[in-house]
Structure 1
Amino acid sequence: MKIAFIINDHDTEKPSYTTPGLGYAAYKREHEVFFIGVGELAYTSGGHMSARCKSISGKSYDAQETYFQAVQKEEFQRINSKDLDVLFLRNNPADEINDREWAQNAAFVFGEIAERDGVLVLNHPSSLAGAVNKMYFQHFPEILRPKTVITRDHKEIEDFFKQQKQKMILKPLQGSGGTNVFMMDKNNVHNLSQTIDAISRDGYVIAQEYLPDATGGDTRLFLMNGEPLQSDGKYAMLQRVNAEGDIRSNVHAGGTTEGKKITDQILELAEIVRPKLVQDGMFLVGIDIVGDKLMEINVFSPGGLNMMGKMYEVDFATEVIKSIEKKVNYKKMYPDYLFNSRLATL
């Protein structure tokens, strides 16, 4: 099959990231693999998606890092949506805030064009467009979520702070990687107004209940087709531990990782989110868990799959590619019968 991955930019995509790992897994299974930066997408006069992309073939590599480094050295070539079987949207719109606002929605728009050409688009582009900020999370059952208000109004946030006994988390509605995440309590209440102002410059502010279990970090679990991703009986999950003195467990923010065993509580949380993810065509997502609550659902470019594979000495990326192969076969068996949103999570 011919599979293309949309990334933010070739210059910022690191060879150790999850998307190059998925591409490497597909390459090892002798598929044609292409990488497209958001800025390299185009619309043709014939009504198709086209793109400048990078690809490599005919060579053997012993690791995803050496594979992707070789890809990055290749010259650009052009591909058309008519030539593709699969388009995997793996760019993160939050990384484009401030610098490239035009790039935030581009992948969804071009993904819908590719979908019209019969390309299998993952995750489902229309659903991704509706999940471009953390408001998507609020559509899941309340039992899963910490108490939350989303507003730009200082008084609402101050009232919520009092209701939470002067301890809460503030973060932007749109963002990732632990950027602009603050824990507010009685010790720094004098900075509350200033902190709200800083976050609200880029949009809405999320004020969220503080969970004491967060001091131990959070658990990242991958879900594929709405189910916990497994390989050889191992679950694609890890514990992200906060750096000392930091409330953020994101690896980009200095957090560390360690192995984590599955529990009935984690499986129950995953089961509660499954119906909506399946309905929305969210093929591969990462959920972040603290205690008995879900902190976030990453539907764009959840990372850490490569770290999990090394940690448990299994190949999660290949399981993802095998699932995509099945979808391509289903599409061939049932032409014009299966909608993209349904096929995405079959």
Structure 2
Amino acid sequence: MNVCFIMYPWEEINTENDSTLAIIHECVKRGHRVAIATPANLTIRNSIAYAFSKIIGKMDKVPAQLKSFHKKAVLKEKMLPLAGFDVIMMRANPPLDPIALNFLDSVKDDVFIVNDIEGLREANNKLYTACFDDPDNEIIPVTHVSKNKKYLKSVIKENPRDRMIMKPLNGYGGSGVIMIEKTAMGNVNSLLDFYIDNKDGTTNYVILQDYIEGAEKGDARILLLNGKPIGAVRRVPGGDDHRSNISAGGSFEKHVLSPAEKKLCKKIGPKLVKDGLYFVGIDVINGMLVEVNVMSPGGITYINKVSKTKIQEKIIDFFEEVVEERVKALDRKTKLKNTIIDA
């Protein structure tokens, strides 16, 4: 296969725990041609979409460790047509660059894109959870999203619970997630000003979400591939932080899906596949869906460490199966067309 990763710069990779690097490593191990590019590397030449790419050269022996692999990889720069790839994997960090998706519109019928660009457009922020049918809040906590400060303050005051979670709509990695309490309402005005108002006069959306009991014990990051769970890890908050995100100082430990989590995955899986969201990370607290991560879901290396598995193998197996089916379908179509031509 020819696989292109549209991602963050190669030089910025955390070689100890980077999920994208683990997937790239598996591709190279299997002998697939791999190129990487950032969204800023996309371009149009003679009305054809290209990427200024870095191709990973063939290795006589691929190092087993990610750090050694990253260090020894030799990159060759080349301008490559996007339609020539079998798979394009979107691994750029949030927020979504909508222009990058516009470059990919012209090749979406020629290349298997993970995740699908229409799915990314729909699900790239935290509003996507509202797309799941859950009128009784069985799997999703009560959630409010607004720019209206008066409304948001009334939500906090009228909420029957003492605590809520406040976070920016486009945050990621635990950035900007805070817990607020009714006893500290005096701070709410300044917090809303900080979250909503920008210096240039524009405004941002704020999310208020019911605090889920048990959140202080951490959350589960569950990875789903083609709508089904393939691994999970429990993230535990640091001693002085309510956030479980490892990037925010949390730790991780082995996690086995509970019956409630299995039920949740079974309920949301079909819609994820329908929307072309083939590789997704969900954050779950006490069986409740908190976030759906579709841009660059992480957690692969942590799951591998605690569960003695290799999540990246399952991902590349899936890519190979899809590409093989697409090749077979094209061959079949070509043969049928030739039958008509030769008639």
Q: 1:198 aligns with which of 172, 182, 194?
A: 194
Q: Find the aligned partners of 1:240 and 1:227 in 2 and give their Cα distance.
A: 20
Deviation at 1:65, TM superposition (A): 2.1
| Corresponding residue for residue 282 of structure 2 | 287
Kept in 2, the 8 Å contact 1:40–1:52? The answer is yes
Q: 2:179 aligns with which of 183, 203, 207?
A: 183
| Corresponding residue for residue 98 of structure 1 | none
Q: Given the two structures, how large is their TM-score scaled by the length of structure 2? A: 0.89
Task: Give runs of aligned pairs for residues 65-76 of structure 1, distance below 5 A.
Answer: 65-71=67-73, 74-76=75-77
2:4 matches 1:4: yes
Task: Decide which moves more: 220-229 or 33-42.
Answer: 33-42
Task: Give runs of aligned pairs for residues 137-156 of structure 1, distance below 5 A.
Answer: 137-142=129-134, 143-156=138-151
Q: Find the aligned partners of 2:194 and 2:286 in 1 and give their Cα distance.
A: 29
| Corresponding residue for residue 36 of structure 1 | 37
Q: Deviations over 1:145-191 (max 9, x none)?
A: 11111001112111111222342111011110111111110342211
Deviation at 1:335, TM superposition (A): 2.7
Letter in structure 1 aligned against 2:192: I
Kept in 2, the 8 Å contact 1:49–1:113? The answer is no
Q: 1:109 aligns with which of 71, 78, 102?
A: 102
| Corresponding residue for residue 216 of structure 1 | 217
Q: Deviations over 1:187-239 (max 9, x none)?
A: 4221101111111136100011111211111001110000111xxxxxx1010
Q: Deviations over 1:18-73 (max 9, x none)?
A: 001001011111111111112111112142333332422133212222222333x6
| Corresponding residue for residue 134 of structure 1 | 126
Task: Decide which moves more: 219-228 or 6-15.
Answer: 6-15
Q: Measured at CA, do residues 245 and 10 of structure 1 come closer, stay the same or move farther in structure 2, by a change above 3 Å? A: same
| Corresponding residue for residue 14 of structure 1 | 14
Deviation at 1:336, TM superposition (A): 9.8
| Corresponding residue for residue 62 of structure 1 | 64
Q: Find the aligned partners of 1:126 and 1:284 in 2 and give their Cα distance.
A: 14
Letter in structure 2 aligned against 1:13: I
Q: Measured at CA, do residues 64 and 187 of structure 1 come closer, stay the same or move farther in structure 2, by a change above 3 Å? A: same
Deviation at 1:114, TM superposition (A): 2.6
| Corresponding residue for residue 79 of structure 1 | 80
Deviation at 1:10, TM superposition (A): 2.7
Determine helix, strand or coil for the equivalent of 1:48: strand
Letter in structure 1 aligned against 2:69: Y
Kept in 2, the 8 Å contact 1:112–1:126? The answer is no
Determine helix, strand or coil for the equivalent of 1:11: helix
Task: Give runs of aligned pairs for residues 158-173 of structure 1, distance below 5 A.
Answer: 158-164=153-159, 165-173=161-169
Q: Which one has a bigger Cα radius of gyration?
A: 2
| Corresponding residue for residue 124 of structure 1 | 116
Determine helix, strand or coil for the equivalent of 2:11: coil
**What is the aligned-residue identity percentage?**
27
Determine helix, strand or coil for the equivalent of 1:301: coil
Q: Given the two structures, how large is their TM-score scaled by the length of structure 1? A: 0.88
Kept in 1, the 8 Å contact 2:89–2:115? The answer is yes
Determine helix, strand or coil for the equivalent of 1:335: helix
Task: Give runs of aligned pairs for residues 205-284 of structure 1, distance below 5 A.
Answer: 205-229=206-230, 236-284=231-279
User: Unpaired runs of 5+ in structure 1?
Assistant: 95-102, 230-235, 339-346
Q: Find the aligned partners of 1:162 and 1:245 in 2 and give their Cα distance.
A: 26
Q: Measured at CA, do residues 47 and 75 of structure 1 come closer, stay the same or move farther in structure 2, by a change above 3 Å? A: closer
Task: Decide which moves more: 205-214 or 53-62.
Answer: 53-62
Letter in structure 2 aligned against 1:107: A
Determine helix, strand or coil for the equivalent of 2:10: coil
Q: Find the aligned partners of 1:69 and 1:298 in 2 and give their Cα distance.
A: 29
Q: Find the aligned partners of 2:183 and 2:158 in 1 and give their Cα distance.
A: 17
Kept in 1, the 8 Å contact 2:48–2:81? The answer is no
RMSD after superposition: 1.9
Aligned residues: 322
| Corresponding residue for residue 27 of structure 1 | 28
